[in-house]
């Protein structure tokens, strides 16, 4: 008796409420969850090929570490935005690190680079 | 023989080049790889003995998936889905007394092509039947470890009497009457109209499924999703049966959520019409979700059986794609001609990582 009642309620809810409310895609129990994964930012998973980008590339290069055939890790390519973020962090560090041994070492490294350029 | 082979090879190459040259520029192509690892430690006690298992969580097994789609023109999108699971010691396959790693099963889940057009979506191949998932609508955020298909995490554990005799497995006494799962079928889905969709699919054995789904977001009232399906298993099952099942899940903006699922089956020539009732009350906040459940299936394995369970679950999602979960469940079986059937207790703690 309860089963038909529950199902009747379902149909009524579907019928009455379909006049209002914004549609959405509910999660499916048992399926791979929607949304980004641990390696990716995309909604559905890693994009192996995207014709809009016209290249084979992972969806989120900044979060991946490319592994060569020998198994050694190589740094991944970063996007312009991440380069910019790194540059801003570097500016902050430069401002706060004046007088520290690290800053002195950095100045020595710059002098050494100039010296190398001069030798060429 | 050798000349024929090279002749065939050259003809094939010419045909391939012609096909490639003839391809129209595509509007948008995407090929995606995704998957998940879902592993847990499970403790179970059948009243006579207990065991700790390292298992693959049967609620949502370890798997990978390759999907691709192409918008061939403004009104047609063609796509493929290829999904396999690789289950090592599945939680639904273990029973107390098992001391090894169990079996490793590599199974097909989905291998289908689909066409999305203005009048709907047509799918062909191994995939969800129209009714699959209709008894499993769940917005609680805890379905990774606890939902209406209670046998997925512990289906092979046997109920035993106090003399340690096997009575029946949990799986043989419980079901949520959720369509015909995935099968080799042709399926049609109407376009979504104000959140509602109708679906129909036909599979081998002259079996077919009809389903209706609805999902809507009502702002301050929260979200609701509901589904219902009618299934005629026809010659696909012996004895033949028809079934109706459905579920409703509501998630209020406060995080409180309520899920109910029910279904019944009319089995030919057995005099048995098993029925299932399931309810879950939960609360979702920040990265946390907790829920309690109660479910009972009657008359599935034998007439006058009542196979019940109570459960408590907690899921935490601290980072994108990562979930940690835990659950505690008690299973009970009342059988008319058998007394002293021991309860089964189960605890599972694990993680699902999507990649």
Q: Is B129 on the interface with A (CB under 8 A)?
A: no
CB contact (8 A) between residue B260 and residue A6: yes
pLDDT bin (cut points 50, 70, 90) of residue A43 is low
* Residue B274 confidence (pLDDT) above 90: yes
Asked if the structure places residue A22 within a domain, the reply is no
pLDDT bin (cut points 50, 70, 90) of residue A115 is confident
- In B, minimum Cα distance to A40 occurs at B355
Tokens read off for B310: 């109570």
Asked if the structure places residue A87 within a domain, the reply is yes
Asked if the structure places residue A7 within a domain, the reply is no
* Residue A40 confidence (pLDDT) above 50: yes
Asked if the structure places residue B115 within a domain, the reply is no
Q: Mean pLDDT for chain B?
A: 91
Asked if the structure places residue A48 within a domain, the reply is yes
CB contact (8 A) between residue B218 and residue A37: no
Residue A69 belongs to domain spanning:
32-77
Cβ neighbours around A1 below 10 Å, total: 5
Residues A41 and A52 in one domain: yes
pLDDT bin (cut points 50, 70, 90) of residue A63 is very low
Residues A70 and A101 in one domain: no
Residue B265 belongs to domain spanning:
41-59+129-354
Evaluate whether ipTM surpasses 0.90: no
Instruction: Give me the number of domains chain B comprises.
Output: 1
Asked if the structure places residue B119 within a domain, the reply is no
Tell me the β-bridge partners of B328: B312, B347
Give residues 314 to 343 of B whose Cβ lies within 8 Å of A: 319-323
CATH of the domain at B162: 2.40.160
Asked if the structure places residue B308 within a domain, the reply is yes
Most confident of the ranges A8-12, A109-113, B4-8? A109-113
pLDDT confidence of residue A74: 41
Q: What is the pTM of this model?
A: 0.77
pLDDT confidence of residue B37: 97
pLDDT confidence of residue B102: 87
Please tell me the distance in Å from B73's CA to the nearest CA on chain A: 14
Please tell me the distance in Å from A83's CA to the nearest CA on chain B: 23
- In B, minimum Cα distance to A54 occurs at B29
Asked if the structure places residue B210 within a domain, the reply is yes
CA quadruple B334, B335, B341, B345: dihedral sign = negative
Asked if the structure places residue B252 within a domain, the reply is yes
For residue B6, give Cα distances in angstroms to A17, A81, B17: 65, 53, 16
pLDDT bin (cut points 50, 70, 90) of residue A98 is confident
Residues A45 and A59 in one domain: yes
Which residues of chain A does B35 touch, with a Cβ-Cβ cutoff of 8 Å? 32, 45
* Residue A103 confidence (pLDDT) above 60: yes
Asked if the structure places residue A13 within a domain, the reply is no
pLDDT confidence of residue B289: 98
pLDDT confidence of residue B217: 92
Distance CA B230, CA B228 (A): 7
Length of chain A: 120
Which residues of chain A does B193 touch, with a Cβ-Cβ cutoff of 8 Å? 18
Please tell me the distance in Å from A48's CA to the nearest CA on chain B: 5
Residues A116 and A83 in one domain: yes
- Beta strands at B158-160 and B256-267: parallel, antiparallel or unpaired: unpaired
């Amino acid at each position: 008796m309860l089963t038909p009642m529950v199902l009747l309620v379902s149909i009524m809810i579907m019928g009455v409420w379909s006049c209002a409310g914004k549609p959405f895609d509910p999660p499916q129990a048992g399926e791979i969850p929607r949304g980004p994964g641990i390696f990716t930012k995309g909604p559905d998973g890693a994009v192996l090929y995207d014709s809009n980008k016209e290249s084979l590339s992972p969806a989120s290069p900044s979060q991946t570490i490319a592994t060569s055939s020998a198994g050694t890790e190589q740094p991944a390519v970063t996007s312009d935005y991440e380069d910019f973020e790194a540059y801003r962090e570097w500016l902050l560090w430069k401002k706060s690190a004046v007088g520290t041994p690290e800053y002195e070492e950095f100045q020595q490294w710059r002098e050494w680079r100039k010296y190398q350029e001069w030798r060429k | 023989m050798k000349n024929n082979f090279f002749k065939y090879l050259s003809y094939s190459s010419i045909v391939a080049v012609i096909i490639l040259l003839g391809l129209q520029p595509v509007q948008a192509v995407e090929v995606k790889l995704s998957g998940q690892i879902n592993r847990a430690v499970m403790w179970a006690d059948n009243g006579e003995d207990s065991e700790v298992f390292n298992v693959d969580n049967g609620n949502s097994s370890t798997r990978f998936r390759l999907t691709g789609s192409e918008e061939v023109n403004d009104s047609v999108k063609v796509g493929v889905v290829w999904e396999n699971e690789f289950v090592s010691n599945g939680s639904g396959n273990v029973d107390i007394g098992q001391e090894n790693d169990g079996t490793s099963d590599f199974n097909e889940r989905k291998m289908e092509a689909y066409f999305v057009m203005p009048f709907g979506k047509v799918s062909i191949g191994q995939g969800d039947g129209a009714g699959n998932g209709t008894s499993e609508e769940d917005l609680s955020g805890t379905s990774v470890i606890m939902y209406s298909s209670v046998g997925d995490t512990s289906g092979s554990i046997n109920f035993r009497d106090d003399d340690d005799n096997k009575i029946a497995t949990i799986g043989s006494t419980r079901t949520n009457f959720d369509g015909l799962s995935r099968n080799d079928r042709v399926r049609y889905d109407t376009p979504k109209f104000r959140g509602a969709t109708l679906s129909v699919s036909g599979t081998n054995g002259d079996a077919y499924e009809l389903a209706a789904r609805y999902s809507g977001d009502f702002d301050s009232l929260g979200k609701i999703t509901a589904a219902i399906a009618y299934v005629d298993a026809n010659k696909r099952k012996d004895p033949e049966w028809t079934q109706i099942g459905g579920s409703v899940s509501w998630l209020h903006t406060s995080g409180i959520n309520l899920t109910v699922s029910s279904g019944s089956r009319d089995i030919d020539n057995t005099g048995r019409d098993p029925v299932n009732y399931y309810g879950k009350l939960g609360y979702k906040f920040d990265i946390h979700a907790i829920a309690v459940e109660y479910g009972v299936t009657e008359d599935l394995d034998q007439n006058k059986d009542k196979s019940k369970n109570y459960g408590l679950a907690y899921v935490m999602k601290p980072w994108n794609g990562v979930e940690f979960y835990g659950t505690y469940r008690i299973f009970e079986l009342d059988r008319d001609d058998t007394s002293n059937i021991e309860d089964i207790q189960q605890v599972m703690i694990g993680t699902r990582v999507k990649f």
